[in-house]
Structure 1
Amino acid sequence: MTIANKELSVEQREELLSALKVRFEKNMNRHEGVGWAKVEEKLLANHDKLWSLYEMESTDGEPDVVGYDIEKDEYIFYDCSAESPKGRRSVCYDREALESRKNHKPENTVMDMAAAMGIELLTEDEYRELQKLGNFDTKTSSWVKTPANIRKLGGAIFCDRRYDTVFVYHNGADSYYAARGFRGSLRV
């Protein structure tokens, strides 16, 4: 559910904070040494970031804290759903790829959705870091930020986990599949 004015109601904010806190406490291995009170304080002071987390949550991303950047004083959230977020699948990589399709165009693109949500697409390195925290995308796959030289040639890359190994693959940027979405990151 996308909210047009990027403002959450009190009820939506409380519901989101409750879900984030439960997930945070259930998965302490993702953020050892980080306390919820400080995270919540940062969230309440950044309504735009809270809205972006709401978007991540409402598309089944299950965002959670995966790190803290001491230099920038920012908590780092990634989508931590077991499989690629359901509300972000069946999309090609970017607007150029979408416009190049002649038939059967998907409704949206990874890059457009991420921008609208106010999040960044995970890089390959970030995806690999996520995989150190659990087993993700064992049945699905997720687009990751594609290097410019690959994208310039019409391709895009995606990752998944099979055989207890993280794989990086390529596809035409205009391709899309029901089992491929994307994971995002957000700094608060």
Structure 2
Amino acid sequence: MTRAEQAARTRQAVLDAARALFAERGFAATSLQDIADAMGVRKANVYYYFPTKAAILDALLDERTSRLDALLAAAESEASVEARRDLVIAGFTEEVVRAYRTVAPIDFADPSVRSVPGVAERLEAFTRRAAKALFGPHPSVDQLAGLAVMHDLKPVMRTLDRLPDDELVRALQRLCRRLIA
């Protein structure tokens, strides 16, 4: 294994440990030392890749939004609002279930997360972009409220956790269509 490959693996291990701890304990209650301890390394190893906990959060936010950015870009190229909505709902629900089943979810609505400089602004910009793709330039109050509820499907996922992934995705798609109709 090359040094670059080892560095990429270690960086990803930091992100994986941080993601799990942030989901379990919350962002505010997790320190860089906690992340290092979970990895079985010295804190200096974590600092080498991420000088601050905020830098880790930023990288985790990048992970979360990169697929959704691509989804929005594809939706924005669709001519009709209906086609954009169908594409976004299908891709969003599949991504939400994938993330729920495979990685520890981070609560981006957590005030300690949103208080990190730049995080709230990035999330709000993403929401504005999604609203425009889904509803056009003038979304209604009800549409914006539905989109806000769509941002946090964790309670629904926990309630329907026993469903196979394909059924869970379909249930979430039906819910999302009702939320943003």
Give TM class, smaller chain: 0.3 to 0.5
What TM-score do you get using the length of structure 2 for normalisation? 0.34
Q: Tell which has more relative contact order, 1 or 2 (C-alpha 8 A, sep 6+).
A: 1
Higher share in helix: 2
